[in-house]
Amino acid sequence: MKVLHITDSLPSGGAFYAFRHVLRALGHRSWMMAPPPSYLSKAIRTIGGYCDPLQRRHFRRLLRDIHKPDLVHLHNFKSLGTAVIAACKDVGIPVVWSCLDYWCLCPRDTGYGCCNLSRRCGPRTWQPAKGRRYPLIAKLPLLGRRCRIMGWMNLLDAVIALSEDSKQRLREGGLTAPPIHVVPLPIKMYSLTKHVDPNLVLFVGGPAPHKGKHVFDAAMKIVQAQRPEIVGKSMFGVERHQVLREIARAACLVVPEQWPNPGPVVIAEAQLLGTPVVASAIGGIPEMHPARLCPHTYVEFFAASIFDIVSMSFPEHAGQAGQKDADRRHDHATIRKKMDEVYQGCV
């Protein structure tokens, strides 16, 4: 079976590495990365939820005349919009989607502070990017967004969610027709020599508020007030091999997500490297069983959990147990079998 994988993710960040892990585990070589859209195209396809007829015709030609796949597997495709699904249906090719964020339910991609998800996601108001405010008439193109997008999303042949929490949110958001399969990411880490620095606490992620860097910084202030030798380090925009080396070297990794992340790649990578993880109890993260779970907005809980690990009260064998659990959860052979069953069910 020839499967064409499509993504629009830039070659950095969790979504791109999730895409790469899937390709590596399945052994598929047919894939396509869409170019970044213009601001107008992104506004029409991603924020407004409209099916772009030019994009639809373009992908219809690619699928029918060039790639000729038996099945299309979509990963992050928010900047392409629903035109990709429409093109697959025009050509008669089954299409599967892996849910890595909630762009189809929320104009801000994360489900944090939107009006189409449940109350668990945060305030039910929509604010444009970077805190800008526009007159009410500027929001008129958003009217009917949910119906437009869900009309196409419900034509998917299957959806792959990373957690039961993500599956539930998608159902609540209106994705009712296609079967939703819960399949963790297939992640395998190469062994790295571990020289753990007991005073290094690591955060991996950008400055966007939903990543929780402000929570990490505030927690580290509390920690360093009592233990000045503890170093809090943030990493973003560097080569992945450097990030993985630092994760292996850290006493713990802090993942203070402020949105219901379906299943952060960096948590699985840290667990497979044997590094304890302190993470927010939100979204699909509790299903990954990190070493410590904290309420996502409570800085004091994060500080106490960091203290617990760096003060050596955290048992060493617990990190090894977490590593074995992650090995089972993200095992390539098991997940490859599940993915083959999903594909065969669609075809």
- 251-258 average pLDDT score: 95
Amino acid at 186: P
State yes or no: pLDDT of 315 exceeds 80. Answer: no
Residue reference for tokens 């599956």: 167
Alpha carbons 296 and 290: distance in angstroms, whole number: 14
User: What does residue 228 show for φ and ψ, rounded to 5 degrees?
Assistant: -60, -20
Residues 6+ apart with CB under 8 A from 279: 254, 255, 256, 257, 264, 267, 285, 288, 290, 292, 293, 294
Tell me the mean pLDDT in the region 188-209. 86
- Which of the given ranges, 39-43, 70-74, 186-190, has the highest pLDDT on average? 70-74
pLDDT at 12 over 80: no
Tell me what pLDDT residue 30 has.
92
The per-residue pLDDT for 319 is 62
Domain 197-329 fold: Rossmann fold (3.40.50)
Q: What is the pLDDT of residue 313?
A: 56
- CA-CA distance, 112 to 210, in Å (whole number)? 7
Q: In the prediction, which pLDDT does 127 show?
A: 41
What pLDDT is attached to residue 136?
65
Give the up-direction half-sphere exposure of residue 268: CA atoms within 13 A in the CB hemisphere. Answer: 24
Q: Does the pLDDT value for residue 131 go beyond 80?
A: no
pLDDT score of 126 more than 90 = no
Q: What's the pLDDT score for residue 256?
A: 97
CA 35 to chain CA centroid, Å, is 20
Count the neighbouring beta carbons within 10 Å of the beta carbon of residue 318: 12
pLDDT confidence band for 112 (50 / 70 / 90):
low
Is pLDDT larger for residue 280 or for residue 320? Answer: 280
pLDDT digits (tens, 9 = 90+) for 63-105: 999 999 999 999 999 889 999 999 999 999 999 999 999 999 9
Whether the per-residue pLDDT at 2 is higher than 90: the answer is: yes
pTM of this structure: 0.88
Predicted local confidence at residue 16, as pLDDT? 86
**Mean pLDDT for the stretch of residues 296-312:** 92
Q: What is the pLDDT of residue 140?
A: 79
Q: Indicate if the pLDDT at residue 269 is higher than 90.
A: yes
Higher-confidence position of 336 and 111: 336
Spatial contact of 265 and 188, defined as CB atoms under 8 Å apart: no
Domain locations along the chain: 3-186+332-346, 197-329
Q: What are phi and psi of 222, to 5 degrees?
A: -65, -45
Higher pLDDT, 11 or 68: 68
In tens, the pLDDT along 206-246 reads 888 899 999 999 999 999 999 999 999 999 888 888 999 99
Neighbouring CB atoms inside 10 A of 12's CB total 14
Distance CA 39, CA 55 (A): 15
Does this chain's domain 3-186+332-346 share its CATH topology with 197-329?
yes
Mean pLDDT of 168-195: 89
What's the whole-number mean pLDDT along residues 36-43? 85
Q: What is the pLDDT averaged over residues 178-194?
A: 87
CA 193 from centre of chain: 28
Average pLDDT over residues 240-265: 93
Q: What residues does 71 pair with on adjacent strands?
A: 3
Is residue 193 predicted with pLDDT exceeding 80? no
At 134 the pLDDT is 56
Class of domain 3-186+332-346: alpha beta
